[in-house]
Amino acid sequence: MAYVNPTISLGIQMIVLGLLISGYFLKRQKKYRQHGIIMLSAVVLHILSILVVMVPSFAAYFGDPSSVNFADILVITTLIHVSAGLLAALLGVWLVSSWHLQVSMQTCFRKKRVMDVTLGLWLLAIFLGVVLYLAIIQTI
């Protein structure tokens, strides 16, 4: 039963990954408004997952920072995962907020590099999240 929250979180992040992939293909088809709506959905789902599942898990894992071994590979992986995921979420919020369902996509095109960085961070966070999930369920 201890792996329910990580499993729910992983499931949500797999949905987010599916949305990212769908959004990418919509962008390639020049369906920019649909792309933006899919990305907005991914950001909202990602933020909900962070707030409901990941923050409590992180707080429990690092409850007493003085007892955390920062040389442990699992701790290092967790900190990179958290940093990449949080930065991706913040950038995602900024991107979808600056777009705010506009019909014109001209302002979006100027943010392409930020979008690429955000996608890279998001993919890194998801990959490391899967690694952490596998490590967690092996210890339970």
Q: What is the pLDDT of residues 102-139, one digit of tens each?
A: 656 666 666 778 888 998 999 999 999 999 888 877 87
**Cβ count near 96 (within 10 Å):** 18
Instruction: Please give the pLDDT value at position 87.
Output: 96
Coil vs helix vs strand at 100: coil
Instruction: Please give the pLDDT value at position 104.
Output: 60
Q: How far does CA 56 lie from the centroid of its chain? A: 16
E strand map for the chain: none
Instruction: Please give the pLDDT value at position 60.
Output: 79
List the chain residues with pLDDT less than 50.
1
Question: What does the alpha-carbon distance between residue 123 and residue 140 come to, in Å, rounded to a whole number?
Answer: 26
Determine contact, residues 20/122, Cβ cutoff 8 Å. Answer: yes
Instruction: Please give the pLDDT value at position 1.
Output: 43
Print the domain residue range for 76. 4-139
The domain tally of the chain equals 1
Instruction: Please give the pLDDT value at position 103.
Output: 58
Instruction: Please give the pLDDT value at position 102.
Output: 62
